[in-house]
Structure 1
């Protein structure tokens, strides 16, 4: 791949352009907002000048509602030898293109499973997709060379290719992305008019649950409007579980011991089902989830503290598998939770204490 055209210079499009430009590909940038394309170009993502002729690959990174029309224009104009989109839904755009009567041999649907709460070119990075799954949805119509170009794009972005059927992909992302986003928003909405004294007690748990609720609503409306059926089906199942759980919790308030017992068993069942589901979430590098021990360190909110901790762990020969940070309310300090394999925990504790770190058990 020597030339590419990126149409849509938001977070995803600009991140792709940055990755390609950084690996020697000549990237042309287009956007319905010329200023956004100029911003992406200023970041080093390519040029906002139009290509002189057909490019090797056109990457359509526009909202789902505009994917089919944009792709149809690219394919009919012969603007690229291969074309793909990166929308978060795949079945709908494909069916729209078929209805438009476009030759789809030069097209493949794709979806990089990566993003951020922020949007726009200024939020883009050239390593956004590194190590992340990138779904490809070829059909019998897809030309082999088009699939190869798409695989080259995934490789240049240092992502991991995953081949799926388009409708299976849409059901999957409804489960692991779209439905959880709505649930996070519903939980976060409870905080909107909550008393300040309650909100100030927020810890890492509520931050974890509501983090993705900070995303741009208009962008998510586009996504949800393109995949409403599978999301609604899942929310119906969650609603039934919520109704059962509410009844179980009400039973725990009862003066009837038998009702309290039944309610307690039902609530515990929900928690155990949650344990079982969470244990299926892939761990590091997509492998089976590992069991880690945590070492909690008190640090000051000042430059270099995290770097010192990692350096001290490295000197002790301990690999930090994961890290979580919780800032103290109203104080210039926080707690860093270092996740390590159980066998490494004693050595890390000794090393950190020897270097003067304050540990919390």
Structure 2
């Protein structure tokens, strides 16, 4: 791939353009907002000048509702050898494109499973897709050359290609992406009118659950409007669990011991099913989930403290598999949780204590 046209210079389009440009591809940027395309160009994502002729690959990075019309237009203009979109929904836009009578042999649907709470070109980064799944949804009509161009794009972005059926993809993202966004927003919405004393008690748990609730509502309305059925199906299952959980919690208030016992069993059931589901989430490098020990260390909010604790772990040959930071409300301190292999936890704990770190049990 020597040339590419990126249509839509938001987070995903600009990030893909930055990755391509950084690896020697000449990238042309187009956006309905010319100022946004100029911003992306100023960041090094390419040029906002139009291509002089046909490019190798056109990447359509517009909201799902506009994907089909945009693809039909650029395919009709013979703008590229191959065409690809990066919308988070695949089945609907493909059917809309088919309805226009457009020849789909040069088109392949795709969805990079990566993003941020922030949007726009200023949130973009060339490494956004590194190590992340990038779904490709070819059909029997997809030319091999176009599939190869898509695979080259994924490789240049250092992502991991995953081939799926378009409708299967939409059902999957309804479960692992779209429903979590709504549930996160619903939990965060409870905080809107909460008493200030309650909000000040927020800890890492509520921060984890509500992190993605900071996402752009307009963007998510576009996404959910393109995939409402599968998301509603998943939410119906969540609603059923919620209803049963509410009944179980009410039972815990009953005078009858048997009813209280049944309520406790209901709560335990949903928690254990949650354990089993969480255990299926892929772990490091996409491998099966691993069981790590957590070494919790009190840390001050000072420059260089994280670097120092990582260096101290490295001195005893312990690899930190994952890390989380829990901030203390109203204090310049917190707890850094270092996840390590179980056999390494005692070694790391002893070493950190020797070096003056305060560990939290």
Fold shared by both chains (TM-score > 0.5): yes
Length, aligned pairs only: 361
Matched, 1:213 2:213: yes
Mapped partners of 1:125, 1:310: distance in 2: 25
**TM-score in terms of structure 1 length:** 0.99
Matched, 1:42 2:45: no
Matched, 1:172 2:172: yes
Pairwise CA distance, 1:303: 1.2
Mapped partners of 1:124, 1:303: distance in 2: 26
Instruction: Tell me the equivalent position of 1:134.
Output: 134
Mapped partners of 1:94, 1:180: distance in 2: 25
Mapped partners of 1:273, 1:175: distance in 2: 16
Structure 1 segment 308-319 matched on structure 2, within 5 A: 308-319=308-319
Q: Which blocks of at least 5 consecutive residues in structure 1 are unaligned?
A: none
303-312 or 175-184, larger mean C-alpha shift: 303-312
Instruction: Tell me the equivalent position of 1:95.
Output: 95
Matched, 1:4 2:31: no
Pairwise CA distance, 1:354: 2.0
Instruction: Tell me the equivalent position of 2:163.
Output: 163
Pairwise CA distance, 1:45: 0.4
Pairwise CA distance, 1:355: 1.8
Mapped partners of 2:307, 2:33: distance in 1: 40
Mapped partners of 2:83, 2:235: distance in 1: 34
- RMSD of aligned C-alpha atoms? 0.6
Pairwise CA distance, 1:92: 0.4
Instruction: Tell me the equivalent position of 1:254.
Output: 254
The 3-state SS of whatever aligns with 1:82 is strand
The 3-state SS of whatever aligns with 2:128 is coil
Instruction: Tell me the equivalent position of 1:67.
Output: 67
Instruction: Tell me the equivalent position of 1:354.
Output: 354
Instruction: Map Cα deviations across residues 28-66 of structure 1 (whole Å, 9 max, x no partner).
Output: 000000000000000000000000001000000000000
Instruction: Tell me the equivalent position of 1:233.
Output: 233
Instruction: Tell me the equivalent position of 1:79.
Output: 79
The 3-state SS of whatever aligns with 1:24 is coil
Instruction: Tell me the equivalent position of 2:294.
Output: 294
Mapped partners of 2:345, 2:58: distance in 1: 49
The 3-state SS of whatever aligns with 2:323 is strand
The 3-state SS of whatever aligns with 1:265 is helix
Instruction: Map Cα deviations across residues 232-255 of structure 1 (whole Å, 9 max, x no partner).
Output: 011111111111111111011000
Instruction: Map Cα deviations across residues 280-334 of structure 1 (whole Å, 9 max, x no partner).
Output: 1111111110000011111111111111111111111010001000111111111
Mapped partners of 2:39, 2:353: distance in 1: 48
Mapped partners of 2:298, 2:305: distance in 1: 10
Mapped partners of 2:167, 2:275: distance in 1: 28
294-303 or 139-148, larger mean C-alpha shift: 294-303
The 3-state SS of whatever aligns with 1:247 is helix
Structure 1 segment 180-199 matched on structure 2, within 5 A: 180-199=180-199
Mapped partners of 1:229, 1:303: distance in 2: 48
Matched, 1:345 2:345: yes
Runs of 4+ aligned residues of structure 1 deviating over 4 Å after TM superposition are none
The 3-state SS of whatever aligns with 1:56 is strand
